Amino acid sequence: MNADWGYFLTKKSPIRGFLIDLWHATINPLDFRAKHQPEVLRGYRCDFVRVFMASPVSFHAHSSDAIPVIPSMTVVLEEDPPVRPKRGLTEAQKNNYLIATFESQMVSYHGPMAHGGRGLRWNQKSVRIGNPQIIALAYATDKRRLLQQFKNLVATGHIAIVLEMVSQNDGRVVTAQEWKIICECCEEAGLYLVVDEVLTVWRCGAPFAHLLPQYSEYKPSFVVFGKALGACGLAVHWDGVHLNRLGYAEPCNAEDAANFIDLWDHKPSRVISPDDALRSWGYILLSEEDRWCTRALQIGQNLRRAVARRHPDVPVGGFGALIYLPSEVAGEMDIVGAAVNGDLTRWLPYLDEGLTEFEHVMELFQDSGAAMRRALAKSYQNVTMIRCISCSDYLHEVMYACKKCGGNVCGDCVARGASERHQEKRCLSGNRES
């Protein structure tokens, strides 16, 4: 049931309908570039903007590659905007172009070296962008205190701050009041707001989590996207915080916004891989066809109810179908997730219709669901990167394979006795580990 690291929201192929012919055309790269690439880019961007209400500008191999682009992008945006703002960048900002982050920021800021595996704290394994200034999210409960923090950032040359709507480290969700205060302080202090939506895309009941009704009063300046969207990159809200003052969002200035995108398209050697563009376009269309946003809320509610049935006093973090729960509970319920820090497991279910019925969900955690789980496990038997059902970390060698629940146990967990409940066929029975 777990979509490995959040890359997949469905088992369906995203290449459907008219995309099939375009996909076949990529066999000849030169021919595709000449005949189809402009059409694909226009169509993809059009549907991206329609669904996400943001314009995808910069595309990258990894989401962390998007953050370093922001300083250069702001230089171009500020250089000759449609509307000359009353307040431009300060001299300190022009001389430094630094980016700060709220605490617990993970992969998009720290890069692919960030590690959330068993017992390893992500900030011990990360390669940071310079020496970032980190702001405690607790400041967002007090506008006066946060505004002073932001003014200090501007004075030291920071142009932007990065925020996760749902913390990748612990599943903490930004409240509507915190969002309001953060956005207002960005406007008043003169900071761009960058939102990391790498894991939250579609999972929280909206295309991007910041598009949920409780956050609708403001939009961020930039959005980092990746993983389940099928492509990684940076999108722009022309009417976003601090960016709206430049006038790109005005209908009469639509040509200026289009010219900026065209200018940026000429900077990389290739705007986006055709395969990535077609795959991402397919996911966008499929998200509407299968109503992923609605399903995410239904599935999230069902899985949280399932946890509450067995562990009524255990706190469950995250939002919608992005679920954080204690690793001990995940192991006891035979849930394979993505390990966060040794204490928490990040549960990333598919958004296919099988989990929208609560009775069906509960069956997966009972003896009656053993055959179904074995069938699910068998469908992944050729996948080389699999996870331990006890600790949710990667395992490259299966030390014990449970024939009842379909789970595999790594050597470390076998050594600490975690395989005993499977050997004694106590899995799926609701019994806690002794």
Closest CA to 411 of 429, 432, 395, 392: 395
| Apex 186 CA angle, 184 and 187, nearest 5 | 65
* Whether CATH 3.40.640.10 fits 4-289: yes
Is it the case that residue 400 has pLDDT exceeding 60?
Answer: yes
Give CA–CA dist 260/271, Å, rounded.
14
Instruction: Give pLDDT tens digits for 265-320.
Output: 998 878 999 999 999 999 999 999 999 999 999 999 999 999 999 999 999 999 99
Arithmetic mean of pLDDT, 184-211 = 97
pLDDT of 366 reads: 76
Instruction: Find the range with the poorest average confidence among 229-233, 306-310, 354-358, 403-407.
Output: 403-407
Separation of alpha carbons 40 and 338, rounded Å? 34
Please give the structure tokens belonging to residue 270.
């290739």
What is the maximal distance between C-alpha atoms in the chain? 72
Provide the token pair at 281. 């376009």
Question: Residues 78-129: pLDDT tens digits?
Answer: 999 999 998 899 999 999 999 999 986 554 555 554 444 444 444 444 445 5
* Residue 334 pLDDT: 83
The bridge status of strand 317-319 relative to strand 222-225 is unpaired
Average pLDDT, the chain: 87
Tell the residue number behind the tokens 């389940």, with chain if given. 228
pLDDT for residue 56 is more than 80: yes
Task: Determine the Cα–Cα distance for residues 256 and 84; give it in Å rounded to an integer.
Answer: 13
- Give the pTM: 0.90
Q: Give residue-wise pLDDT tens across range 128-168.
A: 556 678 899 999 999 999 999 999 999 999 999 999 999 98
As a whole number, mean pLDDT of residues 242-266 equals 96
Which of these ranges, 32-36, 137-141, 417-421, has the smallest mean pLDDT?
417-421
Q: Which two tokens stand for residue 319?
A: 């939002």
Taking CA atoms, 58 is separated from 72, 108, 278, 374, in Å, by: 11, 14, 16, 42
Task: Give the pLDDT score at 112.
Answer: 53
Q: pLDDT at position 54, please? A: 98
* DSSP tag of 282: H
The pLDDT assigned to 177 comes to 98
The runs of H, that is alpha helices, within 111-253 are: 143-155, 176-189
At 401, phi and psi to the nearest 5? -115, 120
Domain boundaries, the chain: 4-289, 292-423
| pLDDT band at residue 216 under the 50/70/90 scheme | very high
Mean pLDDT calculated for residue range 403-424: 86
Listed range (51-60, 269-278, 383-392, 409-418) with the worst mean pLDDT: 383-392
In this predicted structure, what is the pLDDT of residue 30? Answer: 93
Task: State the DSSP H helix or E strand holding residue 40, giving kind and residue range, or none if neither.
Answer: helix 37-52
For residues 242-264, give the mean pLDDT.
Answer: 96
| C-alpha separations of 329 from 99, 316, 346 in Å | 37, 10, 12
Q: What is the pLDDT of residue 326?
A: 92
Q: Which two tokens stand for residue 15?
A: 């290449």
Q: How confident is the model at residue 379 (pLDDT cuts 50, 70, 90)?
A: low
CB 428 within 8 A of CB 370: yes
pLDDT winner (highest mean) among 106-110, 219-223, 387-391? 219-223
Query: What was the pLDDT predicted at 219?
Result: 98
Compare 330 and 26 and report the one with higher pLDDT.
26
* Burial tier of 363 (Cβ tally within 10 Å: 0-12, 13-18, 19+): middle
Region 21-36 average pLDDT: 95
